[in-house]
Amino acid sequence: MYYPRSFLKFILLGFLLVSLPLVYALVELVLSLDRLARESRAEVLQASQAGRSSRLLFEQAATLERLARQEIILEDPALLEDYARMRQGFQQTTRQLSELPLDRAQLTSLAQLRQREDQLHALLVSRQRDPASVTRLAEGYASLVEDTQGMLNATAQLTQRAIERLQETAAQGREKWLWLALATAAIALALAVVFAVLIARPIRQLDQAIRRMGTADFTHAISVNGPQDLRYLGQRLEWLRARLAELEQQQSRFLRHVSHELKTPLTAVREGAELLRDNVGGRLAPEQQEIVRIVRENTLSLQKLIEDLLTYHHARASQEPATLSPVQLPDLVRRVLREQKLAAIARMITFETRLAPATVVGDLDKIRTVIDNLLSNAIKYSPRSGVIELDLVEQDGFAVLDVADHGPGIAPAERERVFDSFYSGKAPVDGKVKGSGLGLAIAREYALAQSGRIEVLDRTDGRPGVRFRLRLPLSLRAGPKPEAGAAAKAPAAEAPK
């Protein structure tokens, strides 16, 4: 497909090509109207001339009859001179009528009128007259006048035919214009659709490229087809994508190396704090034990942060094929609950579970990490002695797991940002230090890798708190559902208190 150098020129070319059929239709309309006007003028002139000439012919024939009768009676040579002059006018009028578009019968009648007048004139100028010739002259001129009266009717028919031809031409013009209008509209619409697609395609390619880059997806090369200025813009975006991909790789390598380098001295510090806490180097005073406790807790927090960094970058950069297997979500949720039991007991948090049977196919470790991060987030932001509710149901081909707490909740403007890397919301109500901001980001990455998604919703009962919903596609070979009552009671019995 040929594109002009400029996007503006391409748009102008599109408008020009779309307008060409309309311009052609307009020109054709003007020409048709002009042609119809010329034909109408010619028809009107012919009809007017035919009517005027036929009336003049009738008057001239009547005058010839009158002069001929006077000459027969008076035998005055001056009357013959007047007759000759009027006869010239009669012959000229018949010639004018013969030039009009009369039909064959009318032309034949006109020729017979001239021939009869010639015969009557020859008889009139003859000096050898008898009663029979006089009678023939009187009857001949009377018949001549009657025949010219018939020419009046013939010219009236000529006018009627002209009107009918104009009406037929107008009807044909309307029909032609109807088809021309439909054809030009269809062509203009088709061209408009084609150019709309051609104009929208490079813009759509740019939009898709920018959206992918906005989601930190730098794996797809950017190619933009279109005018040269848009292709140049696509090339600059491709350069930017490659540069960002390179920076992303450098950042990942840097964080991975730093994390590994930090783990060794951090392990030594943590082990030293453990030894001091166990009084290996001698019994510590209460103030010293408090200092050791602070050091130990902060080393544990730092170790958790490093592990989150490693896990997050492994999730973003991992190219290893996923290990897929059937996963019984209720069993996996109970396993995570057992792992989080100590953290929940420390804050006197209880769980209410309603787990219906649901089987998905995916990576067991990644799904466990997703559930673990959601549950850890709920424990962190729940008030002391709070309740965390877990509901698992099957819905429209998905296993839907809701994790709801009674914490401060998340503002609607922040519900998408909580899944961004290193983003931390408000600190928990008990003043606990904020987390790394990677737990929910890792959960989202792993959920997307399992063809699922995570979203933030309000609680259904209107109470303070937030509800995280995890949706994972069900296994096609999932067994039949047990009764709802049995599904709801069994998990609740294992809920830690």
Confidence of residue 211 (pLDDT cuts 50, 70, 90): confident
Residues 15, 195: Cα–Cα separation, whole Å: 9
Degrees, nearest 5: CA angle 406-411-415: 95
Query: Can you give the pLDDT at residue 273?
Result: 77
Which tokens hold the place of 426? Answer: 């408000």
Choose between 491 and 351: higher pLDDT.
351
Cα dist from 85 to 24, 80, 82, 100, 147, whole Å: 57, 9, 5, 24, 21
Query: Can you give the pLDDT at residue 434?
Result: 54
Per-residue pLDDT, averaged over 131-155, amounts to: 77
Greatest mean pLDDT range, 147-151, 331-335, 461-465: 331-335
Question: Across the chain, what does the average pLDDT equal?
Answer: 77
Residues 368, 81: Cα–Cα separation, whole Å: 132
User: Does the pLDDT at position 11 exceed 80?
Assistant: no
pLDDT tens digits for range 338-354: 988 888 888 889 999 99
Per-residue pLDDT, averaged over 185-200, amounts to: 79
pLDDT more than 70, % of the chain: 84
User: Does the pLDDT at position 322 exceed 70?
Assistant: no
| Residue 51 near residue 151, CB atoms below 8 Å | no
Confidence of residue 484 (pLDDT cuts 50, 70, 90): very low
Helix (H), strand (E), coil (C) string for 257-283: HHHHHHHHHHHHHHHHHHHHHCCCCCC
Confidence of residue 268 (pLDDT cuts 50, 70, 90): confident
pLDDT tens digits for range 392-407: 999 888 999 999 998 8
Query: Can you give the pLDDT at residue 339?
Result: 87
pLDDT tens digits for range 18-53: 777 778 777 877 887 787 777 777 777 777 777 777
User: Does the pLDDT at position 430 exceed 60?
Assistant: no
Delimit the domains of the chain by residue range: 7-195, 228-316, 323-493
Pairing of strands 453-457, 350-355: unpaired
Which tokens hold the place of 112? Answer: 């017979």
Q: Which residues pair with 470 in a beta bridge?
A: 401, 454
Per-residue pLDDT, averaged over 177-191, amounts to: 80
Query: Can you give the pLDDT at residue 163?
Result: 76
For 147-156, 243-252, 402-411, which range has the lowest pLDDT when averaged over its residues?
A: 147-156
pLDDT tens digits for range 213-237: 777 677 788 888 777 777 778 888 8
Choose between 114 and 473: higher pLDDT.
473
pLDDT tens digits for range 60-105: 888 888 887 887 777 777 887 888 888 888 888 888 777 777 777 7
For 157-166, 198-207, 237-246, which range has the lowest pLDDT when averaged over its residues?
A: 157-166
Query: Can you give the pLDDT at residue 85?
Result: 85
Cα dist from 478 to 17, 202, 335, 402, 482, whole Å: 58, 44, 20, 20, 12
- Return the CATH fold of 228-316: Helix Hairpins (1.10.287)
pLDDT more than 90, % of the chain: 8
Which tokens hold the place of 4? Answer: 């002009």
Query: Can you give the pLDDT at residue 483?
Result: 40
b/e map 73-101, b = 16+ CB within 10 Å: eeeeeebbebbeebbeebeebbebbeebe
- Strand 350-355: give its sheet, edge to edge: 350-355, 387-395, 398-404, 467-473, 453-457
User: Does the pLDDT at position 1 exceed 70?
Assistant: no
| Residue 46 near residue 162, CB atoms below 8 Å | yes
Query: Can you give the pLDDT at residue 112?
Result: 81
Query: Can you give the pLDDT at residue 330?
Result: 92
Per-residue pLDDT, averaged over 426-440, amounts to: 59
- Return the CATH fold of 323-493: Heat Shock Protein 90 (3.30.565)
Q: Which amino acid is at 360?
A: V
Output 239-248 pairs: Cβ under 8 A, ≥24 positions apart: 240/213, 241/209, 241/213, 242/218, 244/213, 244/218, 245/218, 245/219, 248/216, 248/218
Confidence of residue 488 (pLDDT cuts 50, 70, 90): very low
Per-residue pLDDT, averaged over 282-297, amounts to: 79
- For 181, other C-beta atoms within 10 Å of its C-beta total 13
Query: Can you give the pLDDT at residue 399?
Result: 92
Query: Can you give the pLDDT at residue 487?
Result: 36
Cα dist from 272 to 80, 262, 292, 303, 496, whole Å: 157, 15, 9, 15, 34
Query: Can you give the pLDDT at residue 440?
Result: 82
Query: Can you give the pLDDT at residue 292?
Result: 78
Query: Can you give the pLDDT at residue 403?
Result: 93
Q: What are phi and psi of 358, to 5 degrees?
A: -155, 130
Helix (H), strand (E), coil (C) string for the chain: CCCCCCHHHHHHHHHHHHHHHHHHHHHHHHHHHHHHHHHHHHHHHHHHHHHHHHHHHHHHHHHHHHHHHHHHHHCCHHHHHHHHHHHHHHHHHHHHHHCCCCCHHHHHHHHHHHHHHHHHHHHHHCCCCCHHHHHHHHHHHHHHHHHHHHHHHHHHHHHHHHHHHHHHHHHHHHHHHHHHHHHHHHHHHHHHHHHHHHHHHHHHHHHHHHHHHHCCCCCCCCCCCCCHHHHHHHHHHHHHHHHHHHHHHHHHHHHHHHHHHHHHHHHHHHHHHHHHHCCCCCCCCHHHHHHHHHHHHHHHHHHHHHHHHHHHHHHHHCCCCCCCEEEEHHHHHHHHHHHCHHHHHHCCCEEEEEECCCEEEECHHHHHHHHHHHHHHHHHHCCCCCEEEEEEEEECCEEEEEEECCCCCCCHHHCCHHHCCCCCCCCCCCCCCCCCCCHHHHHHHHHHHCCCEEEEECCCCCCCCCEEEEEEEECCCCCCCCCHHHHHHHHHHCCCC
Cα dist from 176 to 37, 168, 169, 347, whole Å: 17, 12, 10, 87
pTM above 0.75, yes or no: no
| Residue 358 near residue 399, CB atoms below 8 Å | yes
User: Does the pLDDT at position 494 exceed 70?
Assistant: no
Confidence of residue 490 (pLDDT cuts 50, 70, 90): very low
| Residue 414 near residue 437, CB atoms below 8 Å | no
Greatest mean pLDDT range, 120-124, 308-312, 346-350: 346-350
Burial class (CB in 10 A: 0-12, 13-18, 19+), 421: middle
CATH 1.20.120 fits 7-195, yes or no: yes
